[in-house]
Chain A
């Protein structure tokens, strides 16, 4: 694949991830990691590296946010009562 195509793809993956799609950023960061840091230098590599780093940072922030929320929710699910049930898609059987 030509290098300009790679840059195009990487850029669009990054932009798509902006639509609250952290998994696309994660895929982007992993997929283009080789291109950005391992391959011998070429013209578009700097750009690609930039997007790879941004995507990686973005997915990390998302990871932190999700882990925090899941922890808060699981710890407080019982005490939140009705509110917690209303925002649940699956209510576990036999637990408070």
Chain B
């Protein structure tokens, strides 16, 4: 008896453990094959509109239709008999005409985009006049738009989900499934099982920013949800000379004049992946190289009349978020933060000159665009241009942070350096194709000694631009010409491009901090203010490194130096060739908020259009999976069988109950307790 009990127990344990292992995956999950590494298009909102894509609440489903050419897409729109469909199209078919058609037809429930095999002529979904509402009026003429190939699709409200899939395995899997189940006798598709996709990218926010912000803060809501978050990050800035003076560097250096050298940090794209080689990386690298060279030129030379502020603006893609906030703080005496007692207050009138580095692809001519001609500085640029061709243009200012400054101080002497005179030469502005290939960038992997670089390339071009600019800035701040031999550091430029375009675990990033980074470029999309943005910190530290002063050996004492608001101390590598020797750097770099003033002003009038109002919708889950959808007849059969079984079980239970006295012996009634 006892023995039997034990064996039974033992068997039960074995059986249940087998069942547990076998039941690891639930049936409903076994039906699906996930497609990883897909990049969704999501929803953003501003004061008046919602843009981007969303799926149905539980995900949108549709039968796959793999399109290699326009005729495949036309065919399914015209002849599809088993809607809804999810076409899988190459990027060259992702045009505004096709999206307009897909929006019109009820047969489409979603869209997948994959990289086209043939090279594209252009792929930019930014508007033809970027940031039309926040740029100076009249700066983009209908006859001469800045982004001539722009489709503006980024700013369309697309009512179905769109995903971008790069993974070759996933695409092959989807294609094989399509060939096996879908790609024959289209007339009979209704009568058979079809390979289908489920696209889940349901967006919580709707209508516009004011609505979703209001709803996020609704106190009557029983189920508090964040519907959307403001786009935001941080601007990076550093001063060539500290903003403080005195023996202990504690006294604010007031009444100084400043030159701002600006560039932008962000880009965007239709999907949750960015590239940004020409815009913003060329301008950004040129700024960092200029800062490094200018620092080298002016070391031990404290005889300056003006200081230089290097500012890297964030969120400029979305109505100049970074520069709007920067100017907002300048106008209110809040820049730099903690100014007053510890730091000088810098106002917009303290700026003598504003130089912006915009797209600087390797072209024959660098064009200086301006509204208020900074004649002196232009002469200096001409004097220092070396082998470059320099040209001027004053008919309309290309989009840039300068617009925000000029709106608030119209007579500010300023210019924007670009590679184009009229429309952008970059045919992939704000898209996934603005990559190293678009820039013709090839990593040179230089060391300090290998100076002989054969041929011309983008690195050399940026070197020339930076050298010209640094020399001109030198004579601007010291009132004397530069006769030294220094030129911009080609190795540094090459490494920076490598960091931002190919591998974030590059030498520059190893020199400035100790974390091991992933061997792929970091996203340059601004994102929401709550999320951490590693790229901004890295760019900040890089700027700090090149503009910092060495104050001693690198050791633990360095970071323990007394902190004040003007200066920070970091241990950083001595040079790119000697990453292991660290020195103690005293840097002036700091961050400022890059969140639109619209979100910090109480009772901001959303309809005023004064500041950027972009927000990003929140979402629950973004998922793409493939499954076999049974035919309509099969589905009807399943539900019919289920219903019949249910009804029969009811009848059965009724009969059993009505004859229960046969099964169970009737209990003898005891005495009734009351007489009711």
C-alpha spacing A90/B218, complex, angstroms: 10
Q: Would you call B205 and A85 a contact (CB within 8 A)?
A: no
Contacts of A72 in B (CB 8 A): none
Contacts of A1 in B (CB 8 A): 676
Q: Report which of A81, A86, A88, A93 forms a contact with B211, defined as CB distance below 8 A.
A: A81
| A82 at the B interface (CB under 8 A) | yes
Chain B: minimal CB distance from A1 (Å)? 7
Closest to B55 in A: A94
C-alpha spacing A71/B221, complex, angstroms: 20
Residue picked from A82, A91, A95, A96, most chain B C-beta under 10 Å:
A91
| A42 at the B interface (CB under 8 A) | no
Q: Would you call A90 and B205 a contact (CB within 8 A)?
A: no
Q: Would you call B54 and A86 a contact (CB within 8 A)?
A: no
What residues of chain B have their CB less than 8 Å away from a CB belonging to chain A?
54, 57, 202-207, 211, 214-215, 218, 220-223, 225, 227, 676
| A87 at the B interface (CB under 8 A) | yes
Q: Would you call A94 and B54 a contact (CB within 8 A)?
A: yes
Closest to B54 in A: A94
C-alpha spacing A81/B215, complex, angstroms: 10
Q: Which 5 A-B pairs have the closest CB atoms?
A: A89-B222, A93-B204, A96-B207, A96-B206, A91-B215
C-alpha spacing A82/B603, complex, angstroms: 14
Q: Would you call B207 and A91 a contact (CB within 8 A)?
A: no
Q: Would you call B215 and A94 a contact (CB within 8 A)?
A: no
Contacts of B218 in A (CB 8 A): 85-86, 88, 91
Known interface pairs A82-B214, A94-B205; 18 further A-B residue pairs with C-beta atoms within 8 A, sorted by A's residue number: A1-B676, A81-B211, A85-B211, A85-B215, A85-B220, A86-B218, A88-B220, A88-B221, A90-B223, A91-B218, A91-B225, A93-B57, A93-B202, A93-B204, A94-B202, A94-B206, A95-B206, A96-B211
Known interface pairs A82-B214, A85-B214. Does A90 touch B221 (Cβ–Cβ under 8 Å)? Answer: yes
- Between A and B, 21 residue pairs with Cβ closer than 8 Å are A1-B676, A85-B214, A85-B215, A85-B220, A86-B220, A88-B218, A88-B220, A89-B220, A89-B221, A91-B215, A91-B218, A91-B221, A91-B225, A93-B202, A93-B204, A93-B225, A94-B203, A94-B205, A95-B206, A96-B207, A96-B211
Closest to A81 in B: B211
C-alpha spacing A96/B617, complex, angstroms: 13
C-alpha spacing A94/B206, complex, angstroms: 5
Closest to B43 in A: A94
Closest to A78 in B: B207
Q: Report which of B204, B220, B676 forms a contact with A94, defined as CB distance below 8 A.
A: B204
Contacts of A96 in B (CB 8 A): 206-207, 211
Chain A: minimal CB distance from B585 (Å)? 48
Would you give the 0/1 interface string for A61-94, flagging 1 where the beta carbon is closer than 8 Å to chain B? Answer: 0000000000000000010011001111111011
Chain A: minimal CB distance from B220 (Å)? 6
C-alpha spacing A20/B211, complex, angstroms: 34
Contacts of B676 in A (CB 8 A): 1
> How many pairs, one residue from A and one from B, have CB atoms within 8 Å of each other in the complex?
42
C-alpha spacing A78/B223, complex, angstroms: 19
Contacts of B57 in A (CB 8 A): 93-94
C-alpha spacing A91/B211, complex, angstroms: 11
C-alpha spacing A82/B205, complex, angstroms: 15
C-alpha spacing A81/B607, complex, angstroms: 15
Closest to B208 in A: A96
Contacts of A78 in B (CB 8 A): 207
Closest to B225 in A: A93
Chain B: minimal CB distance from A22 (Å)? 22
Contacts of A93 in B (CB 8 A): 57, 202, 204, 225, 227
C-alpha spacing A89/B225, complex, angstroms: 12
Contacts of B202 in A (CB 8 A): 93-94
C-alpha spacing A86/B220, complex, angstroms: 6
Chain A: minimal CB distance from B653 (Å)? 26
C-alpha spacing A90/B214, complex, angstroms: 14
Chain A: minimal CB distance from B656 (Å)? 28
Chain B: minimal CB distance from A79 (Å)? 11
C-alpha spacing A87/B233, complex, angstroms: 34
Contacts of A91 in B (CB 8 A): 215, 218, 221, 225, 227
C-alpha spacing A86/B214, complex, angstroms: 10
C-alpha spacing A81/B207, complex, angstroms: 10
Chain B: minimal CB distance from A74 (Å)? 16
C-alpha spacing A85/B218, complex, angstroms: 7
Contacts of A87 in B (CB 8 A): 220
C-alpha spacing A91/B216, complex, angstroms: 10
Closest to A2 in B: B676
Closest to A87 in B: B220
Contacts of A89 in B (CB 8 A): 220-222
Closest to B620 in A: A93
Closest to B218 in A: A85
Chain A: minimal CB distance from B52 (Å)? 12
C-alpha spacing A96/B49, complex, angstroms: 11
Residue picked from B202, B211, B225, B676, most chain A C-beta under 10 Å:
B211
C-alpha spacing A32/B538, complex, angstroms: 77
C-alpha spacing A88/B218, complex, angstroms: 9
C-alpha spacing A5/B227, complex, angstroms: 55
C-alpha spacing A81/B211, complex, angstroms: 8
Residue picked from B54, B205, B220, most chain A C-beta under 10 Å:
B220
Contacts of B220 in A (CB 8 A): 85-89
Contacts of B206 in A (CB 8 A): 94-96
C-alpha spacing A93/B226, complex, angstroms: 10
Contacts of A94 in B (CB 8 A): 54, 57, 202-206
C-alpha spacing A85/B211, complex, angstroms: 9
C-alpha spacing A87/B215, complex, angstroms: 12
Contacts of B221 in A (CB 8 A): 88-91
C-alpha spacing A88/B57, complex, angstroms: 20
C-alpha spacing A95/B205, complex, angstroms: 7
Chain A: minimal CB distance from B212 (Å)? 10
Contacts of B205 in A (CB 8 A): 94
Chain B: minimal CB distance from A55 (Å)? 25
Residue picked from B203, B205, B206, most chain A C-beta under 10 Å:
B206
Contacts of B215 in A (CB 8 A): 85, 91
Contacts of B223 in A (CB 8 A): 90
Contacts of A82 in B (CB 8 A): 214
Contacts of B214 in A (CB 8 A): 82, 85
C-alpha spacing A45/B483, complex, angstroms: 115
Contacts of B222 in A (CB 8 A): 89-90
Contacts of B211 in A (CB 8 A): 81, 85, 96
Residue picked from A78, A81, A85, most chain B C-beta under 10 Å:
A85
Contacts of A85 in B (CB 8 A): 211, 214-215, 218, 220
Closest to A1 in B: B676
